Amino acid sequence: EVQLVESGGGLVQAGGSLRLSCAASGFTFDDYTIGWFRQAPGKEHEGVSCISSSDGSTYYADSVKGRFTTSSDNAKNTVYLQMNSLKPEDTAVYYCAARHRGYQCLYFGMDYWGKGTLVTVSS
């Protein structure tokens, strides 16, 4: 069974930090590119970051660049999203998704999705 499970969401004040985890099972982790996406209430999905588990290359949306960092621990089959200097506009449900042998994290190109974890940033 292929499964992605997010954790680490919660309520944090603006300027604070959270670390999200995406635990993967059921597939060879380092054959996949893992992306983080988010969706605020009433808004469309937004790509946040992307990481290749094989070489560690990363991509960040301009809105989070310099504040968020994604990393992988292949031994644990887990990808992280470290979120610093959080802003109220970061409030959203955050999803991780996996793409087999991909070089991009495109919403409609991801093969597997987690169920999401809610991040709420208060003013």
Q: For residue 79, which of 90, 95, 64 has the smallest C-alpha distance?
A: 95
Is-contact 94 48, C-beta < 8 A?
A: yes
3 state DSSP class of 109: helix
pLDDT at 30 over 80: no
CA distance 83 to 85: 7
pLDDT digits (tens, 9 = 90+) for 41-94: 999 999 999 998 778 899 999 999 999 999 999 889 999 999 999 999 999 999
Only one residue has tokens 């009433």, namely: 42
Q: How confident is the model at residue 15 (pLDDT cuts 50, 70, 90)?
A: very high
Is-contact 42 33, C-beta < 8 A?
A: no
